[in-house]
Structure 1
Amino acid sequence: MKNHFKILFSVGAIFIMLFGNAQPVVKPLKVAVFAPVYIDSAFEGINYKLGNNYLPKYILPGLDFYNGMLLAIDSLNTEKQALEFIFYDTKSINEPLEDILTKPELKDISLMIASFNQRNEIKTLADFSLEKNVPLISMTYPNDGGVTNNPFFVLVNPTLRTHIEAIYHFLHHYYPTENITLFKRNGATEDMIASSMSELNKKTPGLPLKIKTVELTDSFSHSQVLMQLDSTRQNIILCGSLNEVFGLNLVKALATNKNYKSITVGMPTWDGLRDIGKDAEIIYTSPYNYSRTDKLGQTIASNYKNKYMGRPSDMVF
């Protein structure tokens, strides 16, 4: 299975090179698609190593993005577009992203489409897009990864500011009078999140939220978190950082002591984390909010069900 996957994702088993009978043969445009599928985590050689009827949650977003791309390719197939797609697993153990970008087949690509789930991957691909003058479309991650002055980098999903506004309105609707503790780490993005929440609080037409900001170091202990909580009532926690490790450690700290009841509101970067929320109640924003009731949404859902025998997640859209 591992070798078959390499052919599918690295060599490009999906080709769209369909032309009408009267059309001359032209070179198809080449599109490189990058997604976190974690195939090496699921297979040992040709053997699936995670047990029957079990697929880890952290694999699902990238896999559904890949399946959504296949549905899009089916649509392009009917239109006989001259395109060639190459898929790459950005979580390959044997081929890290830096090595993938040295592959000869990427020398003449026309477009890159990426599903990111980690901030540090963005700049690597964005720098490559700038060097090669090839557009890079970031489909699923709400952060620009620190990319500036790159006309080839396109962020099509909701920005971080949009997510922060959604989180604020959610908190204001459901927990308008509760004490809210915002945990953050030192950093420019974290400062922006905290200041945005403060700015929204000042502009709200209703009662402002009662938000207390606590800054922690990256090596914070569980006790440093618990000392900020109230054991006599439910605690509303807001993670004010996109850093995945910080968020995961924060949730683990809250889950260690059952004497403290808490609901943790996190960032959209939590969507791809492996074990987050396993022992705690969490809420986080999604990169997508597509209608499933209009004609397009129903068509996508129907095609997905017919092809994969399931219900499409947001990542498919």
Structure 2
Amino acid sequence: MKTLTGVAMVISMVMLLQACSIFRAAPAKTDGPPPELSKPKPAEPKQEEKKPEVKAAPFNVPAFAKEVKKSAYNVALFAPLYLDSVFATSLEIPGRTMPRYVLAGLEFYEGAQLALDSLQAEGMRLNVRVYDNKSKQLDVPTILRGRLLDNTDLIIGAVSVPELKLLSDFAKQKEINLVSATYPNDGGIDDNPFLLIANSTLRAHVEAIQDYAQKGFANKNIVIVRRGTPFEAGIAGNIKAAYDKMQFDKKARIREVIWSDATTEAQLTQYLLTDRPNLLIVTALDEAGAKTILRKLAVNKATYPMHVFGMPTWDVMKFKEPEFAGITMYYSSPYYNDKQDNFSKYISDNFRRIYKSRPSDMAFKGFELTYYFGRLLGQEGVYFNRDINKPANRVFTSFNFQPVYLKENEGTPDYFENKNIYIIQKGDSADYKMNTAL
């Protein structure tokens, strides 16, 4: 159970920068004869000065070519804290425990706070303002109308629609980098190269699954198993598009099964082979639908070797039923943390000491994104976009932010997205990362 300690609606934090200056001493005066003079040489013909080479702006975004470094940076952090709801009637927490719906945003903030402590210890100076994006009195439209973000150098937000769209429009107008920390969707946003999506979209996931299925098995039979909904048809379309774009001379063709409750086991076996792994990409995002499909497949698991690739939502699903034993299952995720590194131990130790609890994944994400982009600010300045992927800054996971162009022949990215997707095998007691980090 978690108590609320020291959280306000808007929190300001200033970190001190420890600076040092290095001075070069002037050369000492020496005695001795004056230097010997020589006759002046005839003047050489003046060479025409070369004009400096004009380099194109990175990704055709003029702001990205600027070098804007400061002694201190202004950062806005958004998290869904629901403080108005928690303290609607009094300053006392009902039952002296935080409601469950508050915990995700609260732990994201707490993880970010630990990252700020680490950055302070490294000498960074940041002016950080924390906003509750679920506040009724100081919501995102009010914040924008009040021009509270006008001097901001970076926005990090655990936000979803509609707040993401509002912040994205503002970030584009003011040319401020906006990190969408947790929402796995572009929210219909386009034409904003200042938007950075850390929690990859579903399109990026299925592209990575298709890539791993093609390259991870020498001999394979790849089958998409989807239901007849427009949404799952769109997922299948993205898989096929990734197949078409893939430059790999050994890629296997992809077949498709449109599954329904009336689909029989015999009909499914028409797409399966006995002499090679059957790689089944199941597009169901919901647990009930995924398990219904798997039960039909499981009947023939002894005859047809199966590797089932599920969607990123499968990370929290449990497949403990006896009929699923023997089926190798995978899911995709942009986030992987085995919690064995020093950063993870630092976070876990502080949560036990301060909050008397274990940190959730939201706490680790709050720490990682705040620390990673805070360091980028210190290293590269406000427009760090030309060198955004720095392996040396890696915390738990590896980022691979790449430009996304939603239309062909576009000159400017619609946004940037983390394209590093881990393929993770589900295990009985723990899950295992299969592909290597970038």
Q: Using structure 2 for the length normalisation, give the TM-score.
A: 0.48
Question: Is 1:154 aligned with 2:196?
Answer: yes
Question: 2:172 maps to what in 1?
Answer: 130
Q: How far off is 1:303 after superposition?
A: 1.2
Unmatched 5+ residue regions in structure 1? 215-224, 241-246
1:168 equivalent to 2:166? Answer no
Q: CA deviation at 1:304?
A: 0.5
* Distance change >3 Å, CA 280–CA 203, structure 1 → 2: farther
- 2:181 maps to which of 117, 139, 146: 139
**1:209 Cα deviation from its structure 2 partner:** 4.7
| Residues 1:205 and 2:250 are matched in the alignment | yes
Pair 134,204 (structure 1): closer, same or farther in 2 beyond 3 Å: same
1:218 is aligned to none
Distance 1:188 1:43, change over 3 A: farther
Given candidates 241, 251, 266, the residue that maps to 1:196 is 241
**Counterpart in the other structure of 1:67:** 110
Matched residue, 1:221: none
Please give the residue correspondences for 1:227-242 in structure 2 after superposition, counting only pairs within 5 Å.
227-228=262-263, 230=265, 238-239=282-283
Query: How far 1:10 sits from its partner (Å)?
Result: 3.1
Q: Confirm or deny: 8 A CA contact 1:29 1:84 kept in the other structure.
A: yes
Mapped contact 1:18–1:81 kept (Cα < 8 A): yes
* Alignment: residue pair count: 279
CA contact (8 A) 1:226 1:254 kept: no
TM-score by length of 1: 0.62
Distance 1:120 1:54, change over 3 A: closer
Match of 1:244 in 2: none
The letter for the 2-side match of 1:199 is: D
Aligned counterpart, 1:10: 9
C-alpha contact (below 8 Å) 1:35/1:88 kept by paired residues: yes
1:266/1:285 contact within 8 Å kept: yes
Match of 2:283, as an amino acid?
Answer: C
Larger radius of gyration, structure 1 or 2?
2
Name the amino acid aligned to 1:128: F
SS of the residue aligned with 2:131? Answer: strand
Question: Which one of the candidate residues 311, 315, 319 is aligned to 1:266?
Answer: 311
Q: Give me the CA root mean square deviation.
A: 5.0
Residue 199 of structure 1: how far off its partner (Å): 3.4
The 2-side partners of 1:20 and 1:43 are apart by 39
Deviation at 1:146, TM superposition (A): 3.4
SS at match of 1:87: strand
Give, in angstroms, the shift of residue 34 of structure 1: 1.6
Which letter maps to 1:163? H
Q: Cα offset for 1:32?
A: 0.7
Identity %: 26
Residue 47 (str. 1) matches residue 45 (str. 2): no
Higher helix share: 1
Query: Of 119, 122, 130, which aligns to 1:76?
Result: 119
**Structure 2: stretches of 5+ with no match in the other structure:** 22-69, 270-279, 299-307, 322-328, 353-357, 369-438
- Residue pair 2:75, 2:129 contacting (<8 A) in 1 also: yes
| Structure 2 CA distance for aligned equivalents of residues 43 and 237 of structure 1 | 46
Q: 2:76 aligns with which of 28, 32, 36?
A: 32
Q: Which amino acid in structure 1 is aligned with residue 154 of structure 2?
A: L
